[in-house]
A and B are shown apart, each in its own frame.
Chain A
Amino acid sequence: MTTVREEAPAGGTALLEVRHVKKYFPIRKGVLQREVARVHAVDDVSFAVREGETLGLVGESGCGKSTLGRTLVRLLEPTAGEIIFEGQPIQSLGTRRLRPLRREMQMVFQDPYASLNPRKRVGTIVSDPMRIHGIGDREERKRRVGELLDTVGLSPEHYNRFPHEFSGGQRQRIGLARALALRPKLIIADEPVSALDVSIQSQMLNLLEDLQDEFHLTYIFIAHDLGVVRHVSDRIAVMYLGKIVELSPAEELYSRPIMPYTEALLSAVPIPDPDLAEKRERIVLEGDVPSPIDPPSGCRFHPRCRHATDICKEIEPPLVDYGNRHLAACHHPLNADAETLRKVGVA
């Protein structure tokens, strides 16, 4: 049983290829601190991201999306698998060889109040990456910081201020400026707008879009808000308990969800329209997300799935391409007509 792996498609090179990446956290007990169990935070994830595109990564708490994001930039070390950036495997590079690559991949974090060092001035925060990589001299760096602040919609005069003098939205912009300082190719944004008010959120999303065009950036956008993800992404990966259960071009995920979990997720998103809200069929999932320490057998979603049958308990469904690069892992796919089903070989 081979899982379909995302190939680097023709017409657009793969900037980042992720192959069977796993990240487990050990749980140790006993006198000798032996590993007795593992948290399967990321459990065999594969995908590719084209240059210039935005891949959205959605899922609920415990699905592993944040862990995956950090593992890709090697803030966490992968337990297994390959991470290939611009054709070069980076998963086991030593610190020195990895360093120049860190300039190409940057991260923006969720909490604007926690991700900026409160004791440093904004100018220092944004120029530090350049200083660390030995780019330019003081004057040049200062000039560049001014440019970056301007790019993200702040004033270069803010150079000497401290983070606490800014609002949440402004701090997020500073975080963005910092991420852009080294002119990276790839930015992994981990829930960059979740902590912001709605009206500020839309400003940030528009800014991210503008920056992507201006600097030819590639984004991996991690979020739990399906509406936000749909707006920014070209393709979206849905994660559940450490695995990708559906990976699809953005619009198709919403019009033609294949995996019941995706369907349930979509139906749970509240719609700001009272009549629609009343009329729509809400699939309310029972219970809580199970623990990633001891995930369910077979298809991990089966305990909560209303279409589950015996096969779902025993065999883990492979990720299958249902056409148009829309992959899903399910024994009872929704929205797939008989012909497609035959083509992909699902009974």
Chain B
Amino acid sequence: MAEKLLDVSDLKVRFATEDGIVRAVDGVSFELERGKVLGIVGESGSGKSVTAMTLMGLTRGVNARFEGEILYKGTNLLEISDRDMQNYRGNELGMIFQDPMTSLNPVYRIGEQIAEAIRAHDDVDKRRARARAIELLRQVGIPNPDSRVDDFPHQFSGGMRQRAMIAMALSCNPSILIADEPTTALDVTIQAQIVELIGRLKDDFDSAVIFITHDLGVIADIADEIMVMYAGRIVEHGTKRDVFYDPQMPYTWGLLGSIPRLDRPRPERLHTIEGMPPSLINLPEGCKFRPRCPHVLEKCTEEPGLENRVDTPGHLDRCWLDVGFKRGHRDETIAGGSAEAA
């Protein structure tokens, strides 16, 4: 059993805004072990990015309120001081973001920015930091690292910038790499390269990865475990095979059905999930997916807990529907038929 790095319990994150209290994350729990890749799937407003940023302490601020626990190697990251959190960031937890062009400071050289990350946590001189930066660039597959280390971000292509970001995030050997939509802004061929790179580096650096995306195709590639988030909650959680081959949430079926897939014949009409994600200020009563679910029951006015309802242990979901019913009816959604509201 690999080392348990992260134990998140009932995490809640609320932001006070002009329009009201936004319940961005509303009761999220999960664990993460070394060497594992946890994929978090969701659309805008699902709370996936806020969860990730909260792990890094980046959501701390005047208007934010937190509940629950984030235990990293036993320490509750929600309770430590800002100063202490700073020591974890970049050092034990590394993060990369969606758009590598805007995520790098345009006026400093790549090497300088990587060295800065190194020297923030390790007491090395400039020369050593630079040498390490060059080595990191080599590890992430950037050709001619000795000369490219002095380039500015705008001199790198999109894919190379993302590699440089990864190098920077891994520079202090963090135990966890959090990747927030790292491939969304990249071309599909470059995307494949980056996904492969992250998979390889996870082994080289012996770290765990939290990979956040809305792209189910990418998740199928890299994740071991998948969490599907909706309206600030986890609505389905299981191994990759569980979620893809035995999905229990109508929302998951909807996601799987809405994607135009290359491995299946073209449907007459794409399945859609009618309506829009709920407001995080005025969440609906009961199951949050109820307004958009084609299989709504009376019972759905009471919110289902995140529980294991199938034989496979560890496969959790938030849906009252009978498992047999689900297995019988989901294909009409997933196989991308013309069925809309059942």
List residues of chain A with CB under 8 Å of any chain B CB.
Answer: 60-61, 167-169, 197-203, 205-206, 209, 224-228, 230-231, 250-251, 254, 264-266, 268-277, 282, 284-285, 287-289
Size band of the interface chain B makes with A: 35 or more
- Given that A205-B270, A274-B220 are contacting pairs, would A198 and B262 also be in contact in the complex, using a CB cutoff of 8 Å? no
- The answer to whether B254 and A199 have CB atoms under 8 Å apart is yes
Whole-angstrom distance between the Cβ of A124 and the nearest chain B Cβ = 24
B189 at the interface (CB under 8 A from A): yes
B36 at the interface (CB under 8 A from A): no
Segment of B9-17, B80-88, B211-219 engaged in the interface with chain A: B211-219
B241 at the interface (CB under 8 A from A): yes
List residues of chain B with CB under 8 Å of any chain A CB.
Answer: 43-44, 143, 157-160, 187-193, 195-196, 214-221, 240-241, 244-245, 254-256, 258-263, 266-267, 269-274, 276-277
- The answer to whether A272 and B189 have CB atoms under 8 Å apart is no
Chain A residues near B191 (CB-CB < 8 A)? 268, 270
- The answer to whether B43 and A199 have CB atoms under 8 Å apart is yes
- Given that A272-B220, A274-B240, A288-B157 are contacting pairs, would A202 and B189 also be in contact in the complex, using a CB cutoff of 8 Å? no
Knowing that A202-B272, A250-B266, A274-B245 touch, tell me 16 more A-B residue pairs with CB under 8 angstroms: A167-B276, A169-B276, A199-B258, A202-B259, A202-B260, A268-B188, A268-B189, A268-B192, A269-B188, A271-B217, A271-B220, A271-B262, A272-B256, A272-B259, A284-B192, A288-B190
- The answer to whether B270 and A60 have CB atoms under 8 Å apart is no
- Given that A167-B276, A289-B187 are contacting pairs, would A282 and B258 also be in contact in the complex, using a CB cutoff of 8 Å? no
**Alpha-carbon distance between A227 and B160 when the two chains are bound, in angstroms:** 25
Chain B residues near A265 (CB-CB < 8 A)? 188-189
- The answer to whether A60 and B189 have CB atoms under 8 Å apart is yes
- Given that A205-B270, A264-B189, A270-B220 are contacting pairs, would A198 and B244 also be in contact in the complex, using a CB cutoff of 8 Å? no
Q: List 16 A-B contacts (CB under 8 A).
A: A60-B187, A197-B43, A198-B258, A202-B273, A203-B274, A225-B188, A268-B189, A269-B217, A270-B195, A272-B219, A272-B261, A274-B220, A277-B221, A284-B196, A288-B159, A289-B187
Name the residue on A nearest B157 (C-beta): A288
- The answer to whether A284 and B193 have CB atoms under 8 Å apart is yes
Which of B188, B192, B244, B271 is the one whose CB lies under 8 Å from A272? B244
- Given that A198-B214, A269-B217, A272-B220 are contacting pairs, would A209 and B188 also be in contact in the complex, using a CB cutoff of 8 Å? no
Q: Which of B193, B259, B266 has its CB near the most chain A CB atoms (within 10 A)?
A: B259
Chain A residues near B189 (CB-CB < 8 A)? 60, 264-265, 268, 284-285
Name the residue on B nearest A169 (C-beta): B276
Which of A206, A254, A273 is the one whose CB lies under 8 Å from B269? A206
**Alpha-carbon distance between A26 and B255 when the two chains are bound, in angstroms:** 45
**Alpha-carbon distance between A269 and B221 when the two chains are bound, in angstroms:** 11
Whole-angstrom distance between the Cβ of A236 and the nearest chain B Cβ = 12
- The answer to whether A231 and B266 have CB atoms under 8 Å apart is yes
